[in-house]
A and B are shown apart, each in its own frame.
Chain A
Amino acid sequence: MGEAIVVTSGKGGVGKSTTSCNIGVSLALSDKKVCLVDTDIGLRNLDVLLGLENRIVFDLVDVIEENCLLSQALIKDQRCEELYLLPSAQAKDKSAVSATQINRLISQLKEQFDYVIVDCPAGIERGFKNAIRGAERAIVVTTAENTSVRDADRVIGLLEKEKIAPPKLIINRLRPKMIKNGGMMDIDEVTALLAIDLLGVVPEDEEIIRAGNLGEPLVFSTRSPASRAFYNIARRIQGESIPLLTFDREKKMVTKMKKWLGFA
Chain B
Amino acid sequence: MASDLLSVSIDFETSHLYFPTLVHWILGILFAVILLTRVVPFMAAVRRGERTLPIIGESRDNKRFFGTFALIIAYFYLMDVVGNLFPYTGYGFLFVSMAFVLLMSLLYLHKWTRKTLVIVAVNAVVAPALVWFVLAKLFTITLP
The answer to whether A and B come from one shared complex is no
